[in-house]
Homo-oligomer: A and B are copies of this chain.
Amino acid sequence: MNDAPWMHGLHADTGYLLYRLGQRSGSAFNAALEQHGLRLRHHAILRYLATVDGARQRELADRLGYDPSAIVSLLDDLQQLGLAERRPDPADRRSRLVVLTPAGHALLRTADHDSRRVTEDLLAPLSPADRATLNDLLQRISTL
């Protein structure tokens, strides 16, 4: 990614700032996760799976806002890395229950750690109090 000097008092619009910062944090996350063979979307799935332990793919697509077809290939990756498994759903033979493997849980911990470092770098110029308010404000406009 590029860290071009696109800020010169211009483009001070908040929405545009969000867009550019989103790009920057996205690629920073991806760079950090690259060493594990993962990208941001894989990580999001791992995170979600860690909280529910057993999710249908459709549920993942809905909750994370990804296309079902995207879920397929992301899970292929995770499965090949031994981080997640697709198990038959005893209640519905159409669907699969996706669960984290022990390796998945383990990797998630270190990946979470890496992600937190990325975020800290991103928020470096801000005081702890500022970071808290920023997180709060973002949360409020994200919950729609």
| A25-B29 contact given A10-B47, A125-B140, A140-B125, CB 8 Å threshold | no
Q: Is the CB of A29 within 8 A of B16?
A: yes
Q: Is the CB of A26 within 8 A of B22?
A: yes
Most-contacted residue by chain B among A13, A23, A29 (CB, 10 A): A13
Would you call the interface of chain A mostly helix, strand, loop, or mixed? helix
Find A22's partner among B25, B63, B131 (CB 8 Å cutoff): B25
Task: Enumerate chain B residues within 8 angstroms of A4, measured Cβ to Cβ.
Answer: 62-65
| A14-B123 contact given A63-B4, A137-B130, A142-B20, CB 8 Å threshold | yes
Contact with B along A18-35 (1 / 0, CB 8 A): 111111011011000000
A7 within 8 A of B: yes
Nearest Cβ on chain B to A65's Cβ, whole angstroms: 3
Nearest Cβ on chain B to A25's Cβ, whole angstroms: 5
A135 within 8 A of B: yes
Q: Is the CB of A119 within 8 A of B7?
A: no
| A18-B15 contact given A63-B4, A134-B137, CB 8 Å threshold | no
